Amino acid sequence: MKSLHLRTIIQFPAMTNKRKRSQKHTPPPPPPSTPPTPQTQARHSLNTAKARAWAPLSLTRHELSLPLTFPTGQTFLWKNTAPSQYTGVVGPHLISLKHLQNGDVSYCLHSPSHSDTAETALLDFLNATVSLADLWKTFSASDARFAELAHHLSGARVLRQDPFECLIQFLCSSNNNIGRITKMVNYVSSLGTHVGDVGEFQFHAFPSLEQLSSVSEQQLRDAGFGYRAKYIIGTINALKSKPGGGEEWLRSLRKMELRDVISALCTLPGVGPKVAACIALFSLDQHHAVPVDTHVWRIATKYLLPELAGSQLTPKLCDRVAEAFVTKYGKYAGWAQTLLFIAELPSQKALLPSHLLTVKQRNAAKIEGSEEEVGKKSNFNLSILTL
């Protein structure tokens, strides 16, 4: 957000606090009213939201840590709009979440209506009925390392996203980096209805299957999607042919067994076992789904299946890794895997004691330390030169 520059007010000596009488002045008539534009409506909506008080969400930091939940690969649509604050869209609702000084979570609804349904939708999106305290207690009883990690990384929660929104995001994530995934997901989102601006970010309700049906493969390729454009358009066409509608078909997978869910999702163009497991875990209530990639494979061979260290990851071994997680952590194994995955991210090294850091995290810390030391020496040399 651009900072405001205060203009200096110059007071001339001849001026006093007393006001001189002046002739009556008739103000000019107001200009004719013009209909509000979508931009002015959005700004009005945002100003209305700013004037509203933040409401408590009845979730402590131990139940929901915003920085350990939103920027960790589950969704690429929520933005860090202020310190300790993240903003995103749940259904038609533009919502900001932030941590209070005591760590509790509060929310602000950036719209003048639908306040009754917004909190219900938000709590559903946050999987709020699942108690992290209970899960962490169960996991920690069978895994001393998990217990120590959870102590430093409490509040890492698995989201319950809209299945279609989650599917399209993870089609963009295949063999990709976070920066490019975010750019692609933002493009798709921009095709939906604009619901408001917060800070420098524009927010849109994620487009429906019907809205995305009008997008061409060439349009996505021109936007930088590469070969993923073919898969997204193919998946959209496949969903359109589902009886009862593709979005309803996706939601119906929540009632099925995980193996059947993975098989059903893998019939869609561009969806493989790992992407299917991500969609199952983050949107379809398949809490024991374990997305296996090279990072999870490294965790498994180090702590769960050391006898497989040095082996090449194959589809059969992916199944064995997933089974090992379920054996260790039970029906919420996907939640345990999520915390273990987050603990491996270089961005979390500042939260962990040195003995819990991975080799990659230690190396990153050394590089940062060296750069900081170089910076200090440069500043010292500069100060000598300027004496």
For the chain, list the domains and their CATH numbers: 52-129 (3.30.310.40), 161-286 (1.10.340.30), 288-353 (1.10.1670)
What does the pLDDT read at residue 287? 98
Q: Write out the two tokens for 295.
A: 């990072």
Catalytic residue among 79, 98, 274, 349: 274
Distance CA(143)–CA(255), nearest Å, equals: 30
Burial of residue 343, with CB atoms counted within 10 A of its CB: 0-12 exposed, 13-18 middle, 19 or more buried: buried
Annotation marks residue 2 as catalytic: no
* pLDDT tens figures, 24-83: 444 444 444 444 444 444 444 444 444 457 999 989 999 999 999 999 999 999 999 999
Q: What is the pTM of this model?
A: 0.80
Alpha carbon separation from 106 to 72, 103, 264, 325 (Å, rounded): 20, 9, 38, 33
| Contact (CB, 8 A) for 167 and 242 | no
The DSSP bridge partners found for residue 108 are 96
Q: CB count, 10 Å around CB of 307?
A: 8
Alpha carbon separation from 191 to 12, 31, 99, 162, 214 (Å, rounded): 55, 35, 31, 17, 10
What does the pLDDT read at residue 13? 40
H or E stretch covering 48: helix 38-51
pLDDT above 70 coverage of the chain, percent: 76
What does the pLDDT read at residue 348? 72
